[in-house]
Structure 1
Protein backbone atom coordinates (compact mmCIF):
# COMPACT_ATOMS: atom_id res chain seq x y z
CA UNK A 1 0.00 0.00 0.00
CA UNK A 2 1.14 3.55 -0.67
CA UNK A 3 0.83 6.09 2.13
CA UNK A 4 0.74 9.86 1.63
CA UNK A 5 0.88 12.18 4.63
CA UNK A 6 0.02 15.80 3.90
CA UNK A 7 0.48 18.69 6.35
CA UNK A 8 -1.21 22.05 5.68
CA UNK A 9 -1.26 25.18 7.82
CA UNK A 10 -4.67 26.83 7.54
CA UNK A 11 -4.84 30.55 6.72
CA UNK A 12 -7.52 32.06 8.96
CA UNK A 13 -7.75 35.07 6.64
CA UNK A 14 -9.07 32.99 3.72
CA UNK A 15 -12.40 34.49 2.63
CA UNK A 16 -14.70 31.85 1.13
CA UNK A 17 -17.31 34.40 0.01
CA UNK A 18 -14.68 36.39 -1.90
CA UNK A 19 -13.39 33.19 -3.51
CA UNK A 20 -16.92 32.17 -4.50
CA UNK A 21 -17.75 35.56 -5.96
CA UNK A 22 -14.54 36.36 -7.83
CA UNK A 23 -12.61 33.11 -8.37
CA UNK A 24 -15.19 30.36 -8.87
CA UNK A 25 -14.71 29.22 -5.26
CA UNK A 26 -10.96 28.78 -5.64
CA UNK A 27 -8.19 30.46 -3.69
CA UNK A 28 -6.28 33.27 -5.38
CA UNK A 29 -2.93 35.03 -4.97
CA UNK A 30 -4.13 37.30 -2.18
CA UNK A 31 -6.70 34.90 -0.72
CA UNK A 32 -4.96 31.61 0.14
CA UNK A 33 -6.54 28.69 2.01
CA UNK A 34 -3.18 27.56 3.39
CA UNK A 35 0.08 29.28 4.30
CA UNK A 36 2.05 26.22 3.23
CA UNK A 37 1.79 22.50 2.71
CA UNK A 38 4.22 19.62 2.61
CA UNK A 39 3.67 16.03 1.54
CA UNK A 40 5.50 12.80 2.37
CA UNK A 41 5.08 9.48 0.58
CA UNK A 42 5.90 6.01 1.86
CA UNK A 43 5.71 3.10 -0.61
CA UNK A 44 5.07 -0.55 0.22
CA UNK A 45 3.50 0.16 3.60
CA UNK A 46 2.39 -2.99 5.39
CA UNK A 47 1.22 -1.51 8.71
CA UNK A 48 -0.17 1.87 9.79
CA UNK A 49 -0.82 2.80 13.43
CA UNK A 50 -2.35 6.06 14.66
CA UNK A 51 -1.75 7.06 18.29
CA UNK A 52 -3.80 10.09 19.25
CA UNK A 53 -2.48 11.09 22.71
CA UNK A 54 1.01 9.70 22.93
CA UNK A 55 4.44 10.82 23.98
CA UNK A 56 7.05 11.18 21.25
CA UNK A 57 10.50 9.99 22.40
CA UNK A 58 13.20 12.51 21.57
CA UNK A 59 16.83 11.48 21.80
CA UNK A 60 19.90 12.97 20.18
CA UNK A 61 22.50 15.69 20.21
CA UNK A 62 21.81 19.34 19.45
CA UNK A 63 24.08 21.50 17.29
CA UNK A 64 25.50 23.09 20.44
CA UNK A 65 26.52 19.66 21.79
CA UNK A 66 23.74 19.33 24.40
CA UNK A 67 22.39 15.78 24.73
CA UNK A 68 18.59 15.38 24.67
CA UNK A 69 16.82 12.30 26.07
CA UNK A 70 13.20 13.13 26.81
CA UNK A 71 9.72 12.77 25.39
CA UNK A 72 7.18 15.29 24.12
CA UNK A 73 3.66 14.73 25.51
CA UNK A 74 0.25 15.15 23.85
CA UNK A 75 1.29 14.16 20.34
CA UNK A 76 -0.71 12.66 17.50
CA UNK A 77 1.67 10.05 16.07
CA UNK A 78 1.29 8.16 12.79
CA UNK A 79 3.65 5.19 12.54
CA UNK A 80 4.06 3.12 9.44
CA UNK A 81 6.15 0.05 8.71
CA UNK A 82 7.14 -0.94 5.18
CA UNK A 83 7.24 -4.48 3.84
CA UNK A 84 11.03 -4.52 4.29
CA UNK A 85 10.75 -3.47 7.96
CA UNK A 86 11.61 0.25 7.73
CA UNK A 87 9.69 2.43 10.17
CA UNK A 88 8.54 6.00 9.52
CA UNK A 89 7.01 8.33 12.09
CA UNK A 90 4.96 11.46 11.49
CA UNK A 91 3.86 13.49 14.52
CA UNK A 92 1.99 16.67 15.44
CA UNK A 93 1.26 18.25 18.82
CA UNK A 94 -2.45 17.92 19.55
CA UNK A 95 -2.58 21.63 20.36
CA UNK A 96 -1.53 22.42 16.76
CA UNK A 97 -4.23 20.34 15.11
CA UNK A 98 -7.32 21.89 13.63
CA UNK A 99 -8.45 18.56 12.20
CA UNK A 100 -7.32 15.35 10.50
CA UNK A 101 -8.85 13.79 7.42
CA UNK A 102 -8.15 10.25 6.25
CA UNK A 103 -8.99 8.83 2.83
CA UNK A 104 -8.44 5.39 1.34
CA UNK A 105 -8.54 4.17 -2.24
CA UNK A 106 -8.68 0.36 -2.33
CA UNK A 107 -8.47 0.32 -6.13
CA UNK A 108 -5.03 1.94 -6.07
CA UNK A 109 -4.06 0.51 -2.67
CA UNK A 110 -3.39 3.92 -1.19
CA UNK A 111 -4.15 5.87 1.98
CA UNK A 112 -3.86 9.59 2.62
CA UNK A 113 -3.73 11.38 5.94
CA UNK A 114 -4.33 15.13 5.84
CA UNK A 115 -3.20 17.09 8.90
CA UNK A 116 -4.58 20.64 9.07
CA UNK A 117 -2.56 22.80 11.47
CA UNK A 118 -3.91 25.89 13.20
CA UNK A 119 -2.82 29.29 11.95
CA UNK A 120 -2.06 31.14 15.16
CA UNK A 121 0.07 28.66 17.15
CA UNK A 122 3.86 28.93 17.27
CA UNK A 123 5.58 25.62 16.52
CA UNK A 124 8.90 23.98 15.68
CA UNK A 125 9.38 21.90 12.54
CA UNK A 126 11.74 19.11 13.61
CA UNK A 127 11.88 17.79 10.05
CA UNK A 128 10.49 14.79 8.20
CA UNK A 129 6.90 15.40 9.28
CA UNK A 130 7.30 16.22 12.96
CA UNK A 131 5.66 19.46 14.14
CA UNK A 132 5.81 20.36 17.84
CA UNK A 133 4.04 23.16 19.70
CA UNK A 134 6.77 25.55 20.87
CA UNK A 135 5.42 25.33 24.45
CA UNK A 136 5.96 21.53 24.46
CA UNK A 137 9.62 21.69 23.44
CA UNK A 138 12.29 20.90 26.04
CA UNK A 139 13.92 24.10 27.32
CA UNK A 140 17.25 23.11 25.74
CA UNK A 141 15.67 23.26 22.27
CA UNK A 142 13.99 26.66 22.65
CA UNK A 143 15.64 29.59 20.97
CA UNK A 144 15.13 32.82 22.88
CA UNK A 145 13.14 35.21 20.73
Structure 2
Protein backbone atom coordinates (compact mmCIF):
# COMPACT_ATOMS: atom_id res chain seq x y z
CA UNK A 1 0.00 0.00 0.00
CA UNK A 2 1.35 3.39 -0.99
CA UNK A 3 0.82 6.57 1.00
CA UNK A 4 2.16 8.84 -1.77
CA UNK A 5 -0.25 11.71 -2.26
CA UNK A 6 -0.37 13.83 -5.40
CA UNK A 7 0.30 17.52 -4.63
CA UNK A 8 -2.57 18.79 -6.82
CA UNK A 9 -4.98 16.42 -5.12
CA UNK A 10 -3.69 17.53 -1.72
CA UNK A 11 -4.36 21.20 -2.54
CA UNK A 12 -7.94 20.51 -3.66
CA UNK A 13 -8.57 18.23 -0.69
CA UNK A 14 -7.13 20.79 1.71
CA UNK A 15 -9.63 23.34 0.43
CA UNK A 16 -12.47 20.80 0.73
CA UNK A 17 -11.45 20.03 4.33
CA UNK A 18 -11.32 23.75 5.13
CA UNK A 19 -14.89 23.93 3.85
CA UNK A 20 -15.94 21.14 6.24
CA UNK A 21 -14.38 23.14 9.10
CA UNK A 22 -16.21 26.30 7.97
CA UNK A 23 -19.48 24.40 7.74
CA UNK A 24 -19.11 23.04 11.28
CA UNK A 25 -18.43 26.57 12.52
CA UNK A 26 -21.43 27.96 10.62
CA UNK A 27 -23.75 25.15 11.77
CA UNK A 28 -22.77 25.52 15.42
CA UNK A 29 -22.93 29.32 15.50
CA UNK A 30 -26.32 29.31 13.79
CA UNK A 31 -27.62 26.26 15.68
CA UNK A 32 -28.30 24.22 12.53
CA UNK A 33 -28.26 20.54 13.56
CA UNK A 34 -29.09 19.19 10.08
CA UNK A 35 -26.22 21.11 8.47
CA UNK A 36 -23.85 19.77 11.12
CA UNK A 37 -25.11 16.17 10.94
CA UNK A 38 -24.79 16.08 7.14
CA UNK A 39 -21.01 16.14 7.61
CA UNK A 40 -20.78 12.70 9.29
CA UNK A 41 -20.33 9.15 8.09
CA UNK A 42 -23.15 6.90 9.33
CA UNK A 43 -20.70 4.96 11.55
CA UNK A 44 -18.85 8.02 12.90
CA UNK A 45 -17.48 8.35 16.41
CA UNK A 46 -17.76 11.70 18.21
CA UNK A 47 -16.45 12.49 21.69
CA UNK A 48 -17.72 15.77 23.11
CA UNK A 49 -15.65 18.30 25.02
CA UNK A 50 -17.27 16.94 28.16
CA UNK A 51 -16.11 13.40 27.35
CA UNK A 52 -19.46 11.96 26.22
CA UNK A 53 -18.76 9.18 23.70
CA UNK A 54 -21.19 8.91 20.81
CA UNK A 55 -21.09 5.97 18.42
CA UNK A 56 -22.87 6.26 15.08
CA UNK A 57 -24.84 9.01 13.42
CA UNK A 58 -28.05 8.17 15.28
CA UNK A 59 -26.39 8.78 18.67
CA UNK A 60 -24.61 11.90 17.39
CA UNK A 61 -27.91 13.21 15.99
CA UNK A 62 -29.83 12.54 19.21
CA UNK A 63 -27.22 14.39 21.27
CA UNK A 64 -26.90 17.26 18.77
CA UNK A 65 -30.64 17.83 18.56
CA UNK A 66 -30.76 18.06 22.38
CA UNK A 67 -27.85 20.46 22.90
CA UNK A 68 -27.45 22.59 19.78
CA UNK A 69 -30.76 24.46 19.79
CA UNK A 70 -30.06 27.10 22.43
CA UNK A 71 -26.60 25.75 23.15
CA UNK A 72 -24.87 28.67 21.44
CA UNK A 73 -26.98 31.39 23.04
CA UNK A 74 -24.81 34.43 23.76
CA UNK A 75 -21.65 32.76 22.47
CA UNK A 76 -19.76 32.07 19.28
CA UNK A 77 -17.13 29.58 18.27
CA UNK A 78 -14.35 29.75 15.72
CA UNK A 79 -12.16 26.94 14.43
CA UNK A 80 -8.57 27.56 13.37
CA UNK A 81 -6.81 24.86 11.36
CA UNK A 82 -3.54 24.16 13.19
CA UNK A 83 -2.31 21.08 11.36
CA UNK A 84 -3.46 18.79 8.57
CA UNK A 85 -1.95 15.37 8.02
CA UNK A 86 -2.98 13.27 5.04
CA UNK A 87 -2.63 9.74 6.38
CA UNK A 88 -3.66 8.44 2.96
CA UNK A 89 -5.16 10.22 -0.03
CA UNK A 90 -8.62 9.53 1.41
CA UNK A 91 -7.95 9.87 5.16
CA UNK A 92 -6.86 13.03 6.97
CA UNK A 93 -6.13 13.99 10.57
CA UNK A 94 -7.23 17.55 11.27
CA UNK A 95 -5.97 19.36 14.40
CA UNK A 96 -7.90 22.49 15.31
CA UNK A 97 -7.89 25.31 17.81
CA UNK A 98 -11.49 25.93 18.88
CA UNK A 99 -12.17 29.30 20.50
CA UNK A 100 -15.44 29.99 22.30
CA UNK A 101 -16.34 33.62 23.03
CA UNK A 102 -18.85 33.59 25.89
CA UNK A 103 -20.30 36.19 28.27
CA UNK A 104 -18.08 34.63 30.96
CA UNK A 105 -14.91 34.89 28.86
CA UNK A 106 -12.94 32.87 26.36
CA UNK A 107 -12.53 29.10 26.42
CA UNK A 108 -10.29 27.13 24.10
CA UNK A 109 -10.60 23.57 22.85
CA UNK A 110 -8.29 21.35 20.87
CA UNK A 111 -10.33 19.03 18.64
CA UNK A 112 -8.80 16.25 16.57
CA UNK A 113 -10.96 15.17 13.66
CA UNK A 114 -10.28 12.23 11.40
CA UNK A 115 -11.97 12.74 8.05
CA UNK A 116 -12.47 10.14 5.33
CA UNK A 117 -13.18 10.87 1.71
CA UNK A 118 -16.28 9.00 0.57
CA UNK A 119 -17.65 9.33 -2.95
CA UNK A 120 -15.80 12.62 -3.40
CA UNK A 121 -16.89 14.15 -0.05
CA UNK A 122 -14.83 14.58 3.09
CA UNK A 123 -16.82 13.33 6.08
CA UNK A 124 -16.25 13.50 9.83
CA UNK A 125 -15.36 9.97 10.87
CA UNK A 126 -13.68 9.87 14.30
CA UNK A 127 -13.56 13.10 16.29
CA UNK A 128 -12.58 14.06 19.82
CA UNK A 129 -12.70 17.40 21.56
CA UNK A 130 -11.04 18.59 24.75
CA UNK A 131 -10.27 21.78 26.59
CA UNK A 132 -6.80 23.30 26.56
CA UNK A 133 -5.87 23.84 30.21
CA UNK A 134 -2.79 26.01 29.72
CA UNK A 135 -3.91 28.30 26.89
CA UNK A 136 -3.20 31.92 27.77
CA UNK A 137 -6.61 33.00 26.44
CA UNK A 138 -8.69 30.74 28.68
CA UNK A 139 -10.91 32.36 31.31
CA UNK A 140 -10.24 31.10 34.84
CA UNK A 141 -13.77 29.74 35.24
CA UNK A 142 -13.71 27.72 31.95
CA UNK A 143 -17.21 28.61 30.71
CA UNK A 144 -17.38 25.77 28.17
CA UNK A 145 -15.02 23.01 29.26
CA UNK A 146 -15.26 23.42 33.04
CA UNK A 147 -12.74 24.43 35.66
CA UNK A 148 -9.03 23.96 35.09
CA UNK A 149 -8.49 22.46 38.53
Q: TM-score, normalised by structure 1?
A: 0.30
User: Greater CA radius of gyration, 1 or 2?
Assistant: 1
Q: Which has the higher helix share?
A: 2
Q: TM-score, normalised by structure 2?
A: 0.29
Q: Which has the higher contact order (CA 8 A, sep 6+)?
A: 1
Q: Which has the higher strand share?
A: 1
